[in-house]
Amino acid sequence: MDLHDKVALITGGKRIGLVVAGELAARGADVALSYARSKTEAEKAAGLVRAADRRAATFQTDLSRPDAAAVLVQSVVDRFGRLDVLINMASVYVQRPFTDLTAADWDAVVDIDLRAAFLCAHAAVPHMRAQGGGRIINFSDWIAKSGRPRYVGYLLYYVAKAGVVALTEALALELAADNILVNAIAPGPILAPPGTNDEEARAVEEATPLGRWGGEVEIVKGVRALLDSDFITGETIRIDGGRHLK
C-alpha cells in the first residue's frame, strides 16, 4: 500500500505505538492516535508525525465502553476525510492469581484487548470498503501465537490475545472480497516492561535464542511488511527473536 496521503489510526500511542506513528508519517500518512490515560505520550507521537510534515490528531478514548470505537472512528474520518489503516494496539497487561479473578477483571482485560479490536474494525470497515480497500493490523502476543500459556497469573491476557489471533483469521476471511487485508503481530521481548530490573532483563535475553531485546524498530519492520504486501492476510507474525523455540 502506498501510504502517501492515506490516513492511519493507532489505538495506543505510547512506547511502540509512538515509533510506529513516526514510521507511518515518514511514509506519507496522516496519523490519528487514541489514548486512555497516556496523553503526554500520545501528544509526543503526534509531534513526531507533525515533524514529518503530516497531519496528526489525538483522541482521548475509553475503549472499554461499547460505543467508544464507533465514536473514535467517526471522529477520525470527520477530521481527516478518510481511514485507510487501523492498527489495534490498545492493551491491558495485568498479572493476577486465578483465585482472585472476578467477572469485572475479565471485562477489564477482554474488553480492551479483544472486544475493542473487533469494534474498531467493525466501525472502520465501511469507510475502507467505500474507498476500495484497506489494512487492519491487530496486536496479539508471542505466547498466544505459540498456542500454550507459559506464565501463571496471566490467564485473562492469554485468553484475550489468543482471541485476537482468531479474530484476525476470521476477519481476513470476511473482508478479503473487499480488498481489506487483516493481519496481526505477536511481539516477544521487544521492550522491557516498566519496572523490569537488570537481572530480569538479562534472564529474558538468555531465554531468547538471538540473545537480546528486539527494540521498537523490529515491530516497525513488521508493520511495514504487512502494509507493503498485497497478498498476506489472516496471518499472525511472531516477532520474538526465536523466544517461542525455547
Asked if the structure places residue 133 within a domain, the reply is: yes
Is the distance from CB of 234 to CB of 183 less than 8 angstroms? Answer: yes
245 in a structural domain:
no
pLDDT band at 194; cut points 50, 70, 90: confident
* Mean pLDDT for the stretch of residues 20-40: 96
Q: In this predicted model, what pLDDT tens digit does every residue of 115-130 receive, in sequence order?
A: 999 999 999 999 999 9
Question: Which pTM value belongs to this model?
Answer: 0.97
Residue 85 pLDDT: 98
Indicate the helix (H) or strand (E) that contains 119: helix 116-130
- Around Cβ 200, how many Cβ atoms within 10 Å? 12
- Domain interval for residue 117: 7-238
- In this structure, the strands spanning 134-139 and 85-88 are parallel
Per-residue pLDDT, 119:
98
Q: Is 206 among the domain residues?
A: yes
Torsional class of 147: left (φ above 0), alpha (ψ -120 to 50), beta (otherwise): left
Whole-number Å distance between alpha carbons of 169 and 183: 8
Query: Could you tell me if residue 158 is inside a domain?
Result: yes
Query: Using one digit for the tens of pLDDT, what is the confidence trace for 88-104?
Result: 999 999 999 999 999 99
Decide: 20 and 10 in contact? Cβ < 8 Å: yes
Please give the sequence-ordered ranges of beta strands (E in DSSP) within the chain, or none if there are none: 7-11, 30-35, 56-60, 85-88, 134-139, 180-187, 236-239
Q: What is the CATH number of the domain that holds 46?
A: 3.40.50.720
Contact 178, 129 (CB under 8 A): yes
Q: CB–CB of 184/177 below 8 Å?
A: no
pLDDT in tens, 198-230: 999 999 999 999 999 999 999 999 999 999 999
Q: Name residue, grid cell 515533524.
A: 51
Residue 225: per-residue pLDDT: 98
User: How far is C-alpha 209 from the geometric centre of its chain's CA atoms?
Assistant: 25
- Spatial distance between the Cα atoms of 9 and 136, rounded to a whole number of angstroms: 10
Percentage of the chain lying above the pLDDT 90 cut: 96
Minimum mean pLDDT among 84-93, 135-144, 189-198: which range? 189-198
For 42-46, what is the mean pLDDT? 96
Q: Decide if 3 contacts 28 (C-beta within 8 A).
A: yes
Sheet strands (E) in 82-215: 85-88, 134-139, 180-187
Q: Is the distance from CB of 156 to CB of 101 less than 8 angstroms?
A: yes
- pLDDT band of residue 12 (cuts 50, 70, 90) is confident
Whether 213 and 204 have beta carbons less than 8 Å apart is answered as yes
Does 243 map to a domain? no
- Report the pLDDT value the prediction gives residue 53, as an integer from 0 to 100: 98
| Residues acting as catalytic residues | 157
State the total domains in the chain. 1
Mean pLDDT of the chain: 96
What is the number of other CB atoms lying within 10 angstroms of the CB of residue 28? 14
Tens digit of each residue's pLDDT (9 = 90 or more) over 53-87: 999 999 999 999 999 999 999 999 999 999 999 99
* C-alpha cell at position 190: 521487544
Domain annotation covers residue 246: no
The band of 13, judged by pLDDT with boundaries at 50, 70 and 90, is low
113 pLDDT higher than 70? yes
How much is the average pLDDT of 131-158?
96
